[in-house]
Amino acid sequence: MKINRKLAVIIILIATVTLTAAATISDPEPVRYTNLKVLPKNIGSKELQGIMVDDFQDGLGVTCNFCHANAKDSRKLDFASDAKPEKQIARVMMRMTLGINKKYIKLKHPQIGNAALVVTCNTCHKGLPFPEGTEPK
């Protein structure tokens, strides 16, 4: 009986450790973006990338560096930096786009990147940084 009880304790300990490890593996640390003001702060990396590529890059016919500034000490982009005015304009445009969908299309909870959006960046931009006819003279 004594041995059995010891065995039971060991089994429970092993099970606890295994379950804890499994929980850690299946629940990876979410990506932490540090400077989101319009998108949800807990947005997943797949969803954010989808917005940056499909809505912004393709919608405006530009690449990431149109809005994102270079990092100071490398040739990589510093995605959290607000140094480029285009990024700030993009935020204004995001709020405007959400506003149009909410106020005029009457969508309840419009989110950039959501398939339910009726008006998107592409509705006006059609693959151009300035919608046709609005380029500065």
128 near ligand HEC, rule: CB under 6 A: no
Considering beta carbons, is residue 7 or 80 the nearer one to ligand HEC? 80
Residue 70 sits in the site that holds ligand HEC (CB under 6 A)? no
Could you give the count of Cα atoms lying within 13 Å of 94 in the half-sphere of its Cβ?
A: 19
Query: Dihedral of the CA atoms 3, 5, 9, 15 (nearest 10)?
Result: 90
By CB under 6 A, is residue 57 in contact with ligand HEC? Answer: yes
Token pair, residue 130, equals: 């300035």
- Comparing C-alpha atoms, which of 103, 7, 125 is closest to residue 55? 125
| Complex with ligand HEC: residue 9 or 96, whichever CB lies closer | 96
CB 33 within 8 A of CB 40: no
Site of interaction with ligand HEC (CB under 6 A): 33-39, 48, 52-53, 56-57, 60, 62, 64, 66-68, 79-80, 86-87, 89-91, 93-94, 97, 112, 119, 121, 123-125, 129-131, 134
